[in-house]
Structure 1
C-alpha cells in the first residue's frame, strides 16, 4: 500500500485509477458472492452490465472509464485540475449524504459494514485520496 503520491498528474491519475479499480473489483466480488454462481467470465460480464442487482456498481465503472479516457487523451493531457476534479468526484460518490441516500450509498455502506475486504479497499482508496494535493 503505497500512499506516496507522485508529482506528475498523469502518474497521480494512474495511481488513483489503480486503487479505485481494486475497490471496484472487491465490490464486484462481494456482490457476486451474494448473487450466487454466475457461470463463465462472459456470464459475469453480462450480469455486471445488465442485471439490476449490479446497477449500483456502474457508477464506479463510469468513473474508471472517464479516468482511462482522460489518460488516453492526447489533445487534453491530464493536469492538476483533472486530478482534483476526479478526487472531488470520487469523494462525493463515497461520502454518505443523509439528505439524499442513493441506492449506491446504501449498498456501498452495507458492503463496507459487511465485508472486511471492502473496508480495507475503501481505506486504501481514502489514503490515496488524502495523499493527493488539495484544491
Structure 2
C-alpha cells in the first residue's frame, strides 16, 4: 500500500490549495487595490463567495486525512475512490463556475499553479 498515490496526492493537494489561495489573493488585492492582512484573508477564505470554490479543495484534503486515520486502516478501494474524487474535482466538470473551470482559469494565469497541476496529474496515471 506504500506505493499508492493517495498520501503523496494529499500533500500535493495541500500545496495546491496554498498556491491557489495565494493566486486568488493576488488577483483580489490587485482588483481592489488593497493589501490583505492574514486575518482579512482568513475571513475572505471562510466567508466570501469569491473564495468559496477553494473550500471544496480544503474539504477534500480533510476527507483524505479522516480516511487515512480510520480504524481499521483505509482500504485500497477507498484510496482509489479518493483519488477519483480528486481527479473529478480538478478536471471533471466543464460547468461554468465549477471548481474544475475555476482551476483551469487559475492554471492559465499562474505558471506555479500549472506546474503543480503537472505534478498532481502524475497521481492520476
Is TM > 0.5 for Structure 1 vs Structure 2? yes
How big is the shift at 1:90? Answer: 1.0
In the comparison of the two structures, how many residue pairs are matched?
Answer: 120
| Paired position in structure 2 for 1:117 | 112
Larger relative contact order (Cα-Cα within 8 Å, sequence gap ≥ 6)? 1
Q: Is the 8 A contact 1:48 1:55 kept in 2?
A: yes
> What is the TM-score normalised by the length of structure 2?
0.85
Q: Is the 8 A contact 2:5 2:123 kept in 1?
A: no
How big is the shift at 1:69? Answer: 1.0
Are 1:126 and 2:121 counterparts? yes
Within the candidate set 40, 43, 46, 2:40 is matched to 43
> What is the TM-score normalised by the length of structure 1?
0.79
Q: Distance in 1 between matches of 2:65 and 2:93?
A: 27
Q: Distance in 2 between matches of 1:59 and 1:33?
A: 20
How big is the shift at 1:96? Answer: 4.8
Query: 5+ unaligned residues in a row in structure 1: which ranges?
Result: 1-6, 131-135
